[in-house]
């Protein structure tokens, strides 16, 4: 007896199902997501405090810049450390949204250990690819931004790193760019409309508006994480397995933006050093007349 071949479904989750499932996931994971979001907020507050502290140190020790320089070095080291924990908090948020089982705040945070380095470089590669697309023209930049939007989920949940994660994201997004754009814009419109409505309701009270705004931003951020995860999940389960995105195109975009950055750094360095070096020194050094 012949078996009927299974036809793979290649359509993204419908808008109504996406909203419904996102709401259910949001309600289920609310407390864990808010706890991790609060951690991110606390880390941002620390960075702002370090920046404000730098201003005060500079104002009080104008005549002795050595104190400001020492503070700047210590503050920079602390900011890098804080940024490391911010990346871990972001990864923990993603793990919390994708986890089937309920876990504690500490368990989600411990699972993020070892991932910030790869996460950071993935963001760098993605940013370079998008910048390279914008250099070519606006449309390629928008396309690569949309098609690479799943790469952080792929890295955190599936494991591929760097260009491989971006390539797989492009694979998942193949032939559904408009569907992804539409669902992403819908999320922005819903979150923005509710936020504007809350501001209108509390317009007469600055304190109430501020408190409610902070509270709403936490909830909106948690819901957005759930929404983005389910959109990624749908794309990863329904992609066209016969398609393979061209790796050379991605490398070309990264090379273009990297070259542009190097040229800008070289131009800035030339401008700064030319002010302190003897006239004609750089020309003679490089052999120019």
100 inside domain:
yes
Give the C-alpha separation, 87 to 90, whole Å: 5
Q: Measured between alpha carbons, how far is 122 from 164 in angstroms, rounded to an integer? A: 10
Residue 165 lies in a domain: yes
pTM value?
0.82
Question: Does residue 156 lie within any of the structural domains?
Answer: yes
Please tell me the predicted confidence (pLDDT) of residue 138: 77
Q: What is the pLDDT of residues 241-287, one digit of tens each?
A: 888 888 888 888 889 888 988 888 888 877 766 666 565 555 555 55
Rounded to an integer, what distance in angstroms lies between the CA atom of residue 91 and that of residue 101? 17
Q: DSSP assignment, residue 288? A: -
249 domain residue, yes or no: yes
| pLDDT for the residue 66 | 80
For residue 75, give every residue at least 6 positions away whose Cβ sits within 8 Å of its Cβ, in sequence order, or none: 50, 51, 53, 54
The two three-digit tokens of residue 48, written as one number:
């702002």
Helix (H/G/I), strand (E/B), else coil: 66: helix
Please return the burial class of 157, using the count of CB atoms within 10 Å of its CB with bins 0-12, 13-18 and 19+: middle
**52-96 pLDDT tens trace:** 888 888 778 766 778 777 888 888 999 999 999 999 988 998 998
Task: Tell me whether residue 271 is in a domain.
Answer: no
Q: What is the mean predicted confidence (pLDDT) over 191-201?
A: 85
- Looking up tokens 């479904």 gives 9
d(CA 89, CA 108): 9
Q: What is the rounded end-to-end Cα distance, in angstroms, of the chain?
A: 85
Cα-Cα-Cα-Cα dihedral of 151, 155, 161, 166, to 10°? -10
pLDDT digits (tens, 9 = 90+) for 130-180: 988 888 777 888 888 899 999 999 999 998 888 999 999 999 998 888 999
Residue 266 within any structural domain of the chain: no
CA distance readout (Å), 280 to 103, 263, 265, 272, 289? 65, 21, 21, 14, 9
Residue the block writes with tokens 């509270």: 215
Determine the angle formed by the axes of helices 30-60 and 65-98, rounding to 10 degrees. 170
Domain that holds residue 140: 15-253
Residue 188: pLDDT band (50, 70, 90) is: very high
Tens digit of pLDDT for each residue in 30-42?
Answer: 888 888 888 888 8
Q: What is the pLDDT of residue 278?
A: 60
Counting the structural domains of the chain, the total is: 1
Which tokens in the block code for residue 99?
A: 């986890």
Structure-token pair, residue 206: 């600055």
Which of left, alpha, beta for 158 (phi over 0: left; psi -120 to 50: alpha)? alpha
Q: Is 70 exceeded by the pLDDT of residue 123?
A: yes
- Mean model confidence pLDDT for the chain: 83
Tell me how far the alpha carbon of residue 269 is from its chain's centroid: 29
Give the pLDDT confidence score for residue 161 in this predicted structure.
87
């Amino acid at each position: 007896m012949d078996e009927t071949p299974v036809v793979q479904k290649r359509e993204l989750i419908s808008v109504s199902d996406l909203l419904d499932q996102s709401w259910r996931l949001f309600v289920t994971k609310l407390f864990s997501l808010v706890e991790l979001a609060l951690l991110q907020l606390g880390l941002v507050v620390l960075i702002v405090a370090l920046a404000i502290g730098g201003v005060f140190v500079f104002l009080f020790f104008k005549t002795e810049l050595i104190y400001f320089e020492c503070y700047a070095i210590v503050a920079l080291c602390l900011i890098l450390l804080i940024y490391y924990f911010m990346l871990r908090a972001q990864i923990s948020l993603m793990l919390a949204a994708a986890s089937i089982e309920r876990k504690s705040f500490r368990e989600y945070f411990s699972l993020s250990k070892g991932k910030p380095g790869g996460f950071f470089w993935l963001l760098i590669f993605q940013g370079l690819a998008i910048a390279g697309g914008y250099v070519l023209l606006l449309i390629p930049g928008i396309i690569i931004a949309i098609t690479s939007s799943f790469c952080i989920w792929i890295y955190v949940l599936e494991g591929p790193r760097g260009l491989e994660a971006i390539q797989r994201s492009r694979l998942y997004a193949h032939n559904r760019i408009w569907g992804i754009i539409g669902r992403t814009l819908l999320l922005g419109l819903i979150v923005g409309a509710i936020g504007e409505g809350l501001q209108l309701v509390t317009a007469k009270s600055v304190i109430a508006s501020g408190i409610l705004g902070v509270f709403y931003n936490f909830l909106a951020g948690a819901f957005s994480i759930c929404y983005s995860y389910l959109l990624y999940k749908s794309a990863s389960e329904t992609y066209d397995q016969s398609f393979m995105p061209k790796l050379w195109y991605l490398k070309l975009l990264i090379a273009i933006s990297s070259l542009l950055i190097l040229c800008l750094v070289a131009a800035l360095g030339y401008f700064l050093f030319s002010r302190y070096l003897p006239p004609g020194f750089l020309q003679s050094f490089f052999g120019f007349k």
